Structure 1
Amino acid sequence: MSRLPDAGRSYWMRTASFPSFAPLSAPAEADVAVIGTGIAGLSTAWELVRAGLNVIVLEADRLAGGVTGHTTGKLTALHTSVYDTLRSKHGDEAARDYADSQSAALQRVFDIAEELGIDCELERRPALTYCEQPDGADALRAEAEAARAAGLDASFVTETGLPFPVAGAVQVEDQAQFHPLKYLRGLVDDIVARGGRIHEGARVTRLDEGDPYRLTTEAGATVSARHVVVAAHHPVFDHAVLAPRLTQHRDLVVAGSLPADRDPRGMYITTEGGKRSVRTSPLANGNRLLIVTGEAFTPGSGEDTEAGYARLESWTERHFPGVSISHRWAAQDNSSTDTVPLVGRLPTAGENVYVATGFAGWGMTGGVMAGALIASLVGGAPQRWAGLYDPGRIASAAQSAPAFLKAQWDTGQHFVKDRLNTFGEGTAGPVRDLRPGEGTVVRADGKPCAVHRDDQGELHAVSAVCTHLGCIVAFNNAERTWECPCHGSRFGIDGEVVQGPALHPLERQDPGGL
């Protein structure tokens, strides 16, 4: 497999730029505080500042450097096979509301891009969910019928623009794709122009209820706000109600140049073979950038991530001969156990704290939808589909009980089994045998310790206990991060938080005695 420079930094991050914003250094007040600068957070901030509210946006690291910065950038209301599931679990009205809300979000991107003059490579394309195996065709026929009944221009087809045959596909016309970070740069510029305030390096570690709410950052700065929006990928201030209803997954991405005349001219996805997703993006030389996603896995599961990249690269070169892989990165998302994202009031934090999470890999339309929905709740005029996405919904949670219980079983298994495995191993052997770039979890003074040997041969050691809820992390050998299998927190080799819900770093350990 090819070795790529700056591997892990997405194409979007390499080809878009944002201004820098100073950390929060003094107490601040606002009508609304928004936590997170992905598409959900910035869409919400833009909708609210456009409505005339005083908005402050707090980002733990750099703008759009999390989930949105690593997306594939599809704007579509066709989300794999969601409509047949929605119709059977939640009814026809829920399926129609889902289709309407996601379609409205797609159109909202076009409207905002035109209003603000944003050049974000916005292109109309059909979206297709396909299968290569004949035994998957009947399910896609059912999905096409359900999507059509929900109001989408959907059909079942057997011919596509892919350079290989398929057994069938659901096709929805007039969907779209874009450069997500160029779009967000337009929102950021307009938020600032309208008086909104943005702070980077302002990780929020505490939320105190009151009137107003009080937020405290890692550096000790505070914000007082009448409304708070938690759009940080995970409901970081809710451990009991929403967190157990979310499952984490991570997908690998590879990309390379493709001649324009070989563009499949569509956005494709299949759940077969570890999932495969295909789209293209325009390049300055007239070619197209082929973007292929797949090899889905649970963070912290101990998967050989390098081997996953090798399989994805091999699949890409086999199906699109001549493509030379020039970029690779990974995307992380979470899914709710009842299929529908969780957008609205955070059940455990009072009337004026809102959350946006659980987009199941469809956060581009989902994030734009969330921005408009939360703005309508703050303004006191909820959109008609607010109940569908309500994080406090009970009926749908009850219907998803099997998925919920499985998620809790998996988390419990990790919590107990990983400890038994860790405490059952010695220390000297695994650490001594570590080669540059490798990592392992061992026992040190009776406690689990995560150890990495860098390219120069130096050891780095941190506690292996995730600071979120105490599960044991595992090493990702491609991205060189420590990852929690329970709720998806990710840490650097020296313990710094890369991705929440964890708010605090892993404690550093002395590697000298290992």
Structure 2
Amino acid sequence: MREQRKVTDSYWLQTAPGPDHPALDADLDVDVAVVGAGIAGLSTAHALARAGRRVAVLEAGRAAAGVTGYTTAKLTAQHTLVYDRLRRTRGPDGARLYARSQSEAIEHAAELVEELDIDCEWETRDAYTYVRDPSRVAELHAEADAARRAGLPASFTTETGLPFPVAGAVRVTGQAQFHPVRYLRALTADLLRLGGRVYEHTRVTGLTEGEPCRLTTEAGPVVTARDVVIATHYPVFDRALLFARLSPRRELVVAGPLGDGPDPDGMYITPDENTRSVRTAPYGPDGRRLLVVTGEHFTPGTGDPQAGFDRLAAWAETHFPGVTLDHAWATQDNESTDTVPLVGPFHPAARHTYVATGFGGWGLSNGIMAGLLLTALITGRDCLWRELYDPRRLKSVVREAPSLLKTQAEVARHFVGDRLKPPGSVADLAPGDGALVRSGGERLAVHRDEEGALHAVSARCTHLGCLVSFNRAERAWECPCHGSRFAVDGSVLQGPAVKPLERRELE
């Protein structure tokens, strides 16, 4: 019987701890307030500070320790099978603008790495989307053609560095991979040098739009800013109703030093097998390589993540014999219903509020792209791809109607169906497990810790009221509707929720 995979912190966070930043303890007035200190928020703040704006970044947890800290860290314009779809839904010009925006984001990061002398293990690698099923080869031929016509150095091939044969692959040369947390630590240091401010453990709970805008925080201080950027991965404010156009997904990662087998020497992904993504990274001073394998995606609050970790580890150990998988973590992202990120004005009436979300698993290039685009919008400069990513795009809303309706039907199914499921029993809870039980006329989320003590909180997500579910592998409560995540004590781990699950007493 396979030993249960223990979830650890991400390798990137463990190897780049970084300095602490203060919490906001007094009212503040700035030109631009950026909510969220991941790749999108810090890239935006840094670019704005270089443009002469007074910028403050407000982060509910720790900088770079959210989604960006748990990424696979591939920086590429090849996003699985996106270009053939864009060619059909947005036309050839839309596909070209997407390719150009992603490529310019990579070039911008490369320039910063050189200019700031950032030690972030930057490596140039080719990116591959592959399939092993011969019936899908036609898709790859179409994708290679679309990506090439969009301006990328793309081609179809059957030769890869993977330790198993493939039916075909789309190869895009000259892409990059790096250590994302080390990159952001250096970017943050330069932001501070430029006069920007970064506040950790400062959860934003309210937004009043106007001239100026006002942000309220959980601890009390108020931030006044002419412009506000919401870069919290999933927007923490619902006035734009973007939650109807976003689908959260969680994905698992296993990593560890390679054995004696060869380095596959590239960045790989397949849409088959519930996704498999492979890359390596420098590991130690002796030239060894770290294998990073991602896959087994699922909607938060559903499925069996522990079984997913086991399947992913078994796949990695089968194809890369001798690998020692000593890291396992999970990451989360949101996909827009038309697969194109939502970056720009927050809603149709917005004048000084902006958003960046819906990166669909490609947060590094999209986060850097978002920083360049939002800086252009805020400073009054033109940007060729502003309309492509504009959250207010109306034609796209019509095109994405089927996906939007499917997404909302799934939300409705959870909202109603999860309430019809029979409650669990406290007596059946093993140490480390959690379940929804009925007590005092309401559903409670109850966790039994390793010492046997019980911890009860309300089972209603504080975002829009769906019932949470327990993720035993990560010891967290998760909302299957919009992806909010909570610790066993009810505190918020991940938005869009900004309020904790209320504590309850068991009867």
Q: What TM-score does the superposition give when structure 1 sets the normalisation length?
A: 0.97
- Aligned equivalent of 2:292: 291
Q: Quick one: which amino acid aligns to residue 289 of structure 1? A: L
1:281 aligned partner:
281
Which position in structure 2 is the counterpart of 1:76? Answer: 76
CA contact (8 A) 1:4 1:326 kept: no
Tell me which residue corresponds to 1:65: 65
What is the rounded CA distance, in whole Å, between the counterparts of 1:351 and 1:419 in structure 2? 40
Match of 1:393? 393
Q: CA deviation at 1:324?
A: 1.1
Query: Which amino acid in the other structure matches residue 459 of structure 1?
Result: L
Aligned partner of 1:298: which letter?
A: T
1:497 is matched with which residue: 477, 492, 496? 492
Please tell me the residue identity of whatever aligns with 1:286.
G
Residue in structure 1 matched with residue 153 of structure 2 by the alignment? 153
Q: Distance in 2 between matches of 1:47 and 1:289?
A: 32
1:445 positional shift: 1.8
Name the structure 2 match of 1:196. 196
Secondary structure, aligned partner of 2:464: coil
- Report the Cα offset of residue 218 of structure 1: 0.5
Contact 2:59 2:203 in 1 (8 A): yes
CA contact (8 A) 1:130 1:170 kept: yes
Q: Structure 1: where are the runs of 5+ without partners?
A: none
Instruction: Tell me the secondary structure at the aligned position of residue 350 of structure 1.
Output: coil
Aligned mates of 1:8, 1:164 — CA distance in 2: 29
CA separation of 1:349 and 1:479: change in aligned 2, threshold 3 A: farther
Equivalent in the alignment of 2:17: 17
Given the alignment of the two structures, is residue 346 of structure 1 paired with residue 346 of structure 2, yes or no? Answer: yes
CA contact (8 A) 1:462 1:495 kept: yes
Alpha-carbon deviations, 1:424-481, whole Å to 9, x = none? Answer: 43x5xx2101101111112222211111111111111110100000001000010000
Match of 2:100 in 1: 100
Corresponding residue number in structure 1 for 2:436: 441
Mark the runs of 5 or more structure 2 residues left unpaired by the alignment: none
CA RMSD of aligned residues (A): 1.2
**Displacement of 1:17:** 2.4
Q: Secondary structure of the residue that 2:325 maps to in structure 1?
A: strand
Q: Distance in 1 between matches of 2:8 and 2:441?
A: 34
Q: Which residue of 2 aligns with 1:28?
A: 28
Q: Which residue of 2 aligns with 1:485?
A: 480
Query: What is the rounded CA distance, in whole Å, between the counterparts of 1:187 and 1:219 in structure 2?
Result: 27
Is 2:368 the partner of 1:373?
no
Task: Give a deviation string over 1:259-304, Cα, whole Å, max 9, x none.
Answer: 5761100000001111100000001131100000000000012x11
Size of the aligned set, in residue pairs, is 505
3-state SS of 1:441 partner: strand
How many Å separate the matches in 2 of 1:81 and 1:29? Answer: 44
In 1: Cα distance, 2:372 partner to 2:155 partner? 29
Instruction: Check whether the contact 1:18–1:63 (CA below 8 A) recurs between aligned residues.
Output: no
Give the stretch that moved more between structures: 259-268 or 384-393. Answer: 259-268
**Equivalent-residue separation in structure 2 for 1:340 and 1:263 (angstroms):** 32
Aligned residues of 2:240 and 2:346 also touching (Cα < 8 A) = no
Q: 1:348 to 1:236 in 2, by over 3 A?
A: farther
Instruction: Give the match for residue 164 of structure 1.
Output: 164
2:5·2:306 contact (CA, 8 Å) conserved in 1?
no
In the TM superposition, structure 1's runs of 4+ consecutive aligned residues that sit over 3 Å from their partners are 1-5
**How far 1:256 moved relative to its partner?**
1.0
Q: Tell me the distance in 2 between the aligned counterparts of 1:38 and 1:76.
A: 18
Q: Which moved more, 1:470-479 or 1:436-445?
A: 436-445
CA shift for structure 1 position 92: 0.6
Alpha-carbon deviations, 1:350-397, whole Å to 9, x = none? 211010000000010000000000000001113110000001101111
Q: What fraction of aligned residue pairs are identical, expressed as a percent? A: 57
Does the aligned pair in 1 maintain the 2:13–2:181 contact within 8 Å? yes
**Structure 2 Cα separation of the partners of residues 19 and 212 of structure 1:** 31
More displaced stretch, 340-349 vs 55-64: 340-349
Distance in 1, Cα, partners of 2:445 & 2:439: 9
Correspondences of 1:256-275 after superposition (within 5 Å):
256-259=256-259, 262-275=262-275
